[in-house]
Amino acid sequence: MRTAAVLAACAVLAAGAVADDGALLAAPTDLRADGMLAASRGKPIIVLFSLPGCQYCEVVRRNYLAPMARLPHEADRPVVRELELTGTVALPGFRGDKTSGSALANQYGVRVAPTVVMLDRGGNLLAPPLVGGDVAGMYGAYLDRALDEARAKLSAAGPKRAKGGDQ
């Protein structure tokens, strides 16, 4: 009896873990607000451009970006968002204008899913986009390098940028 209860508990936990793995990252609802939040933390905005059913997108989301979005201390978290590469749902952009996943993908030259971009509060690229998935087991190193470049640019911009010195 006891073994059956333990196995049942393990099955419930495993089912929860599988369901959580498939969870999407938060979609942006207001990029200007996301920019202000990122600036207040001194972090970049990280946007994953994905497509439904994309297995490479799932790996990037689950193994690399979701853990960053769930860091225990809110101040340590970058602002991580996910947009559908071909999405047409309107949302407020970085300057208050209306935009969409498709429009932003065009703006940043994103044509492949997954692609990850690192942005400042004004929506400016802080590092070259990370294009493609983790096929060689090196994605973490590439992501770290892009994050380092983004952080360096944010630091160089200093308090002027954090207080609203974007274009």
DSSP strand E in the chain: where? 45-50, 79-84, 91-92, 98-99, 115-119, 130-131
- pLDDT of residue 95 exceeding 80, the answer is yes
| The predicted structure's pLDDT at residue 21 | 43
- Domain membership flag for residue 7: no
Q: Mean per-residue pLDDT for 80-100?
A: 95
How many helices (H) and strands (E) the chain has is answered by 6, 6
- Domain membership flag for residue 149: yes
pLDDT band at 121 (very low <50, low <70, confident <90, very high): very high
- The predicted-structure confidence for 21-71, as pLDDT tens digits, reads as follows 455 799 999 999 999 999 999 999 999 999 999 999 999 999 999 999 999
- Domain membership flag for residue 129: yes
Count of structural domains, the chain: 1
Query: Which structural domain range is residue 118 located in?
Result: 24-162
- Domain membership flag for residue 15: no
- Domain membership flag for residue 9: no
- CATH number for the domain including 108? 3.40.30.10
- Domain membership flag for residue 141: yes
| The predicted structure's pLDDT at residue 23 | 57
Fill in the DSSP letter of residue 114.
S
- Domain membership flag for residue 77: yes
- pLDDT of residue 94 exceeding 90, the answer is yes
pLDDT band at 5 (very low <50, low <70, confident <90, very high): very low
Q: Bridge-partner residues for 157, per DSSP?
A: none
- Domain membership flag for residue 1: no
